[in-house]
C-alpha cells in the first residue's frame, strides 16, 4: 500500500481518523515515473499535487539562452508541484523531471477541492504545507542576496546532507545559481582548506 508514507506524513501534522485515511487513499493515485521522464513540461497546466514516495525529482526553468535553472529538488516525503500553474490553471514555465526511477502519489485539483469541502483538516494541512514552503523560499532568497556561492554551497550540504551522494554537482550548481565549473573550483578549495 503506497499511501502509507503519505498518511504518516499527514499524521505528523495532524492526526487523522480512519475515515480520513480512506479519503486520502481514494483521492491520491499512484504513478511510476522512469528516470529522465517528465511529469510536467513547459506549456502544460500543472494538474496535480505530487508527493514523492520513492525516487528523486527536480523542477527547473529554461532561460532564453537555453540554460536550465533548478528551483527545487524532491526526494522521499517531499512535494513537488508548480503551484503557480496548479492554482491559476495557466500554462507552466517549468519542467519537473525524474532524476531516478520513482514512485509518486498524485492528487488532482478536483480531488483536492473535494478534500477541502469534506473536511477542514485537509484545508489546514495544505495551508501548513504552503506556509512551510514559503518560509523555506524566504530563507533561500535571503541567502541568495546575502551570501557568496561558497557559503551557499556549504549551507546546502549542511541543510540537505542526504542529497550529497544522490544529486550530481551539475544539478546542485544549477540550484545554487553558479556554473558547474565554478562549483568544481569551490569544492576544490574546500577540500584544500
Partner DNA sequence: CGAAAATTTGACATGACTCAACTGGAGTGG
Partner DNA sequence: CCACTCCAGTTGAGTCATGTCAAATTTTCG
* Between 119 and 169, CB nearer to DNA: 169
Determine the interface stretch with a copy of itself among 13-21, 24-32, 128-136, 164-172 (rule: CB under 8 A). 128-136
Q: Is residue 176 a contact residue for a copy of itself (CB under 8 A)?
A: yes
* Minimum gap (Å) between residue 142 Cβ and DNA: 14
* Between 135 and 157, CB nearer to a copy of itself: 135
Backbone angles phi, psi at 63, to 5 degrees: -85, 180
Question: What is the spatial distance between Cα 66 and Cα 4, in angstroms, rounded to a whole number?
Answer: 39
Residues 38 and 96 sit within 8 Å (Cβ to Cβ): yes
Q: Is residue 183 a contact residue for DNA (CB under 7 A)?
A: yes
With CB under 5 to 8 Å by kind, the binding choice for 170 among a copy of itself, DNA, none is DNA
* Between 2 and 119, CB nearer to a copy of itself: 119
With CB under 5 to 8 Å by kind, the binding choice for 24 among DNA, a copy of itself, none is none
With CB under 5 to 8 Å by kind, the binding choice for 144 among DNA, a copy of itself, none is a copy of itself
Q: Is residue 142 a contact residue for a copy of itself (CB under 8 A)?
A: yes
Three cell numbers written together for 11 = 499524521
Q: List residues near DNA by CB under 7 A.
A: 35-36, 148-150, 168-171, 177-185, 187-188
Amino acid at each position: 500500500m503506497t499511501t502509507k508514507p503519505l498518511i504518516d506524513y499527514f499524521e505528523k501534522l495532524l492526526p487523522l481518523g480512519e475515515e480520513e485515511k480512506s479519503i486520502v487513499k481514494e483521492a491520491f493515485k499512484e504513478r511510476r515515473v522512469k528516470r529522465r521522464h517528465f511529469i510536467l513540461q513547459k506549456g502544460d497546466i500543472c494538474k496535480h499535487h505530487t508527493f514523492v514516495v520513492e525516487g528523486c525529482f527536480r523542477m527547473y526553468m529554461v532561460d532564453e539562452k537555453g540554460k536550465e535553472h533548478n528551483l527545487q529538488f524532491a526526494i522521499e516525503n517531499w512535494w513537488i508541484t508548480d503551484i503557480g500553474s496548479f492554482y491559476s490553471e495557466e500554462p507552466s514555465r517549468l519542467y519537473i523531471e525524474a532524476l531516478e526511477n520513482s514512485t509518486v502519489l498524485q492528487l488532482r485539483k478536483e480531488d483536492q477541492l473535494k478534500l477541502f469541502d469534506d473536511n477542514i483538516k485537509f484545508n489546514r494541512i495544505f495551508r501548513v504545507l504552503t506556509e512551510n514552503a514559503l518560509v523555506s523560499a524566504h530563507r533561500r532568497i535571503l541567502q541568495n542576496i546575502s551570501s557568496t556561492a561558497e557559503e551557499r554551497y556549504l549551507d546546502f550540504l549542511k541543510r540537505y546532507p542526504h542529497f550529497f551522494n544522490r544529486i550530481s554537482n551539475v544539478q546542485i550548481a544549477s540550484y545554487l545559481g553558479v556554473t558547474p565549473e565554478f562549483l568544481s573550483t569551490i569544492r576544490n578549495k574546500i577540500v584544500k582548506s
